[in-house]
Amino acid sequence: MPQIDLKYGRNSIAFEYDDNVFDVLQTSAEIQPLTDLEIGEALDDPIDSAPLEEIVMPGESVLIVVPDATRQSGCGQIVNLLVRRLLANGSTPANINIIFATGIHRPVTADEINDLLTPFIAQRIRVLHHDASDPIKNFKIGETSGGIPVEVNWLLTEYDHVVLVGSVTFHYFAGFTGGRKLIVPGLASAKTISATHALAFNCETMDRREGVGAARLEGNPVHEAFVECTELIKPSFAVSTIVDGQGNITEVFCGDWKTSHRSACDEYYKRFSVGIAEKRPLVIASCGGYPLDINMIQAHKALDAATKACIDGGTIILLAECPDGLGRSDFLDWFDSDGSENLARRLCANYQVNGQTAWSLLRKTERFNVELLTDLTDEIVEKMRMKRISNLSSGSEAISKDGKGYIMPAASKIAVELVG
């Protein structure tokens, strides 16, 4: 029988399966990582924009915005190339700073800075940090058409140029990651993050708002609010990458912050949407390893994808190491609720970003039997209404009982669509 290695944190777990019973849901085409030369060719021919060297004049200041440790983006390779180009064009290291778009995530550690940016950059270019809860660092620069106050890190207004560097994958309510998300929520205040994220939830229906979902941009109120906020900053240049399972860049789109990101989203959708003819009673899903399973809040994105392939009442086995725990110390408190309806009422009475993730997770554990292979404790897993397992043997038991199933080796990175 064939064997597949399912990523679990920085390691992997071998799973032997019957290919008459399981179908593997993944993209088939393997694309070679791009070389510096190939990325340089894209930077020379940007989308709807002049090259960066023609935008940034010697002596002008540049703030490069990059993702935090919860994202695979290949930003180290991109930032190295951008910085070298700027220096060759007459900029000095003192003119260039880098900031991590952490939103309400924890700060980036010193080791992660070296891993994400490479020691070459970390030792030469000043690295800055964001705190969404610091009222001194965040101030209002305007409002969205819906009246949401746009409060962002003051550094975004202190530089001649803001350059965005991020990656594109599916996002379960913003449609796609990257691009405008590096500004909001990445460098926004907690107040603005909460108000824009709240657009994903309809307190009249106690459910997701119309237009919200993975791979959806048109008519998505969350995406549209993020774009409005970013338009107030007007980034000078942007780079959006698509990376493989190892975090290597396989495609790059750069230029105008809005249209280059949209081009990356369109390409990602074509490559990573997987059609199925039927839902099945068992889905075994890996998040795709670190950092996609760095904590439960991030791992939930893989669970969301897995539900699209599973019948109601079926079993989902999720591999999520979660070395950083839940992702927020207050996340587990939401599961004191009797059920998702009660949690929704709490959420509408006092909206918090991670409360919506908790609601989404609880809705799934009410619809599906979710078994979690994880380093989280039994007590924590049970409170989230899941069952903690120590191996994948229960998968074979469920398959003999329930019938055919699917394996999703990198569930965080694909969107499953029912066709036919």
Q: pLDDT tens digit string along 115-155? A: 999 999 999 999 999 999 999 999 999 999 999 999 999 99
Tell me how far apart the alpha carbons of residues 150 and 142 are, in angstroms, rounded to a whole number: 5
The DSSP output letter for 162 is E
- CATH code of 36-270, in short, is 3.40.50.11440
For the domain with range 3-27+277-418, which CATH number is right: 3.30.530.20, 3.40.50.970, 3.40.50.1110, 3.90.226.30?
Answer: 3.90.226.30
pLDDT digits 0-9 by tens, 90-107: 999 999 999 999 999 999
pTM for the full model? 0.94
DSSP state, residue 47 = B
Overall average pLDDT of the 228-241 stretch: 98
pLDDT of residue 265: 98
Average pLDDT over residues 238-257: 96
**Which of the four pLDDT bands, split at 50, 70 and 90, describes residue 397?**
low
Number of other CB atoms surrounding residue 71 within 10 Å: 25
As a whole number of angstroms, the distance between CA 334 and CA 336 comes to: 5
Longest CA–CA separation in the chain, Å: 68
pLDDT 10s digits, 180-200: 999 999 999 999 999 999 999
Task: Give the residue extent of every domain in the chain.
Answer: 3-27+277-418, 36-270
* 3-state SS, residue 290: coil
Average pLDDT over the chain reads: 95
